[in-house]
Amino acid sequence: MIHIKKIETFIRAYIKSMRLYYSFITGIAGLIGISYYQYLAYSTEKHSLIFQPTSFTKLVVIMIILFFAWGINQIYNDYLGINEDRINAPERPMVTGELNPKYAILLSTLLMTCAILVTWFYLEPVAVIPLFAGIILNLIYEYAKGYGIWGNIIFGIMISICAVFGFLASGKTDASIISVGNILMILYLSLLNGLMTLYTYFKDYEGDKLAGKNTLIVKLGIERSKKLALFASFLPIFIFMIFYFGFEVWAYQLNNIFMELALIATGMQLWTGYLYYENPIGSKTYFSLSMNFRACACTESAIIAIFNPAFGVVLFLLSYFFIGFLFNFHVNVKG
Tens-place pLDDT, residues 281-307:
988 898 999 999 999 999 999 999 999
The whole-number pLDDT of residue 19 equals 85
Based on the number of CB atoms within 10 Å of its own CB, is 282 exposed (0-12), middle (13-18) or buried (19 or more)?
Answer: exposed
The whole-number pLDDT of residue 49 equals 67
pTM for this predicted structure: 0.92
Q: Residue 64 domain-assigned?
A: yes
In the DSSP assignment, the letter for residue 147 is E
Cβ–Cβ < 8 Å for 315, 304: yes
Based on the number of CB atoms within 10 Å of its own CB, is 158 exposed (0-12), middle (13-18) or buried (19 or more)?
Answer: buried
- The proportion of the chain whose per-residue pLDDT surpasses 70, expressed as a percent, equals 96
The whole-number pLDDT of residue 1 equals 52
| Residue 2: pLDDT over 60 | no
| Residue 146: pLDDT over 90 | no
Mean pLDDT estimate for the chain? 91
Q: Residue 335 domain-assigned?
A: no
Q: How many domains does the chain have?
A: 1
CA separation for the pair 133, 329 (Å, rounded):
30
pLDDT, tens digit, 9 for 90 and up, residues 63-95: 999 999 888 888 988 888 887 778 777 888 898
Q: Closest Cα partner for 271 from 302, 242, 299?
A: 299
Could you list the residue range(s) of the whole structural domain that residue 268 is in?
A: 2-330
